[in-house]
Amino acid sequence: MSQNPRRQFLTHSAALAAAPLLAGLAGRALGQAPARKLGVALCGLGNLSTNQIAPALLKTRNCRLAGIVTGTPSKAEEWKKKYGLADKSVYDYKTMHRMADNKDIDIVYVVTPNSLHLEHALAAAAAGKHVFCEKPMEITVERCQQMLDGLKKAGKMLGVGYRCQFEPNHLECVRLAKEKVLGDVKVIDANFGFAIGDPTQWRLKRELAGGGSLMDVGIYCLQTTRMITGEDPVWINAAEVKTDAVKFKEVDETVMWQTKFPSGVVANCVSTYSANGLAGFRVAASRGWFGLDPAYFYGGNRGRRSDGPEINIPVADQFATELEEFTDAIINKRPTKVPGEMGLQDVKYLTAIYESIKKGRPVSLS
Ligand code: NAD
């Protein structure tokens, strides 16, 4: 597991291990601690659940790991022992509906390959559970809409795992942009990629992933441009480059795209599955610049601004932070900062990027 290049790339171990959970949830005040922690069932026990989310759930004040959904019996045994889970809280993908009888589980966190999110989210909703879904929310706008409709019909909340929406260095950059500390934002450069390994993995299969580097890591750059501008793009132009037509037969390898925002801000972004070392963004404004590099790691993100100060705010466990916010929203009956609607909007823009690649010309979104 430690050989996973994606994980090694994203984890800045020292910062990750040392960072305490920040009080005040990266700028959002939490309500009172609940009398009972909400129970979270993890659906899909792959790398992210094993190495990030389950450890994060040991640090959370509002919620705890209360169940698992897995298709692998040996993992079920391992997790039961490691986290003290009762037999009744262990499910496979076909028995998830039985969660309806399990009062210990309030939320299902969907952490399966992208095109399985809808099926697992709807199964959870049908069992009367709230859903927190990993990014990208699904692989088409229609499937995102079906998820939204299903959760709405069930009267349950839906959140998407956009950890950077709570990352304090990102929030500081949003503040610099909003308060025009270095003038008006004009141009944003955002890039994220890694050299993907195993050619047989689901991330390289269209049916499961929906796309390649763009769906997986380009989505972070898209989010950055939307967070910094506070706007939605009106125009997208994109192109794809493949250097390995066999490995990337079904999905994109490297995607470059430009977006224009209503205020006139332009963004220039790259996502790639063929190189390490791209994980940052830079914002050029009328009187200077600011940015983060790295920006998208699990810990250790930091940056600079042209007028001197470093941007280097300790990063709490991003998965604990996003789950605290989502559970706080459920407990206090308020909207989450990362609703399903945001996930759908992003998939709409990713789809427009693919459309632009296919048509070989800009796509208008207004
Ligand atoms: P992974 O391959 O490590 O785990 C996927 C899990 O899904 C495995 O346990 C696998 O057994 C299970 N699974 C169920 N049905 C499957 C099928 N038909 N084919 C393949 N696997 C199946 O993947 P991961 O890295 O944990 O990613 C899972 C989700 O989390 C993805 O949507 C991904 O985009 C997202 N993710 C988010 C972040 C983040 O920083 N927020 C980081 C990594 C992954």
Average pLDDT, the chain: 93
The protein residue whose alpha carbon is closest to atom 38 in ligand 1 is 48
- 98-152 pLDDT per residue, tens: 999 999 999 999 999 999 999 999 999 999 999 999 999 999 999 999 999 999 9
Going from the Cα of 59 to the center of ligand 1, the distance in angstroms, rounded, reads: 22
Pocket perturbation via mutation, ligand 1, pick of 68, 69, 134 by most ligand atoms within 8 A of CB = 134
The pLDDT of residue 10: 60
Per-residue pLDDT band for 6 (boundaries 50, 70, 90) equals low
Nearest ligand 1 atom, CA 201: 2
The neighbour count for residue 61, using CB atoms within 10 Å, is 16
Residue 27: what pLDDT?
A: 45
How far apart are the CA of 328 and the centre of ligand 1, in A? Answer: 25
User: Which residue spans within 134-251 are E strands per DSSP?
Assistant: 158-160, 185-193, 235-241
Predicted confidence at residue 366, as pLDDT, reads: 80
Residue of 50, 92, 112 best suited for mutating to test ligand 1, as the one with most atoms within 8 Å of CB: 112
pTM, full prediction: 0.94
Give the residue whose CA is nearest to atom 2 of ligand 1.
46
Distance 46 CA to ligand 1 centre (A): 5
DSSP element (H, E) containing 80 = helix 73-83
Looking at residue 4, its pLDDT comes to 52
Ligand 1 centroid–CA 43 distance in Å is: 10
Please list the residues that pair with 257 across neighbouring strands: 238, 269
Q: Does residue 116 have its Cβ closer than 6 Å to ligand 1? A: yes
pLDDT grade, residue 33 (50/70/90)?
confident
DSSP 21: P
Q: Of residues 91, 109, 135, 273, which has the active-site annotation?
A: 135
R_g of the chain computed on alpha carbons: 20
Answer whether 138 contacts ligand 1 (Cβ < 6 A): no
The encoded tokens of residue 179 equal 């308060």
Higher pLDDT, 63 or 31: 63
267: which 2 tokens? Answer: 């963004």
* Nearest-10 Cα torsion for 5, 228, 174, 157: -70
Q: Is 220 a catalytic residue?
A: yes
Q: Ligand 1: which atom is nearest the Cα of residue 112?
A: 7
pLDDT of residue 15: 35
> How much of the chain exceeds pLDDT 90, in percent?
89
pLDDT digits (tens, 9 = 90+) for 245-271: 999 999 999 999 999 999 999 999 999
CA of 117 to the centre of ligand 1 (A): 10
Tell me if residue 157 falls in helix, strand or coil: coil
Asked whether residue 365 carries a pLDDT value surpassing 60, the answer given is: yes
Ligand 1 geometric centre to CA of 178 (Å): 35
pLDDT above 70 (res 5): no
Task: Answer yes or no: is pLDDT of 17 > 80.
Answer: no
Catalytic residue (choose from 91, 220, 273, 354): 220
Predicted pLDDT of residue 268: 98
Instruction: Summarize pLDDT for 108-121 with one digit per residue, the tens.
Output: 999 999 999 999 99
302-309: long-range contacts at Cβ-Cβ below 8 A with a sequence spacing of 24 or more?
A: 302/169, 303/169, 303/173, 305/176, 305/181, 305/182, 306/182, 307/182
Task: Please report the atom of ligand 1 found closest to the CA of residue 163.
Answer: 41
Write down the pLDDT at residue 1: 31
pLDDT at 288: 98
Label residue 11 by pLDDT band (50, 70, 90).
low
166-210 pLDDT, tens digit each: 999 999 999 999 999 999 999 999 999 999 999 999 999 999 999
Q: Is the dihedral of CA 7, 9, 10, 13 positive or negative?
A: positive
Query: Quick check: CB of 223 below 6 Å from ligand 1?
Result: no
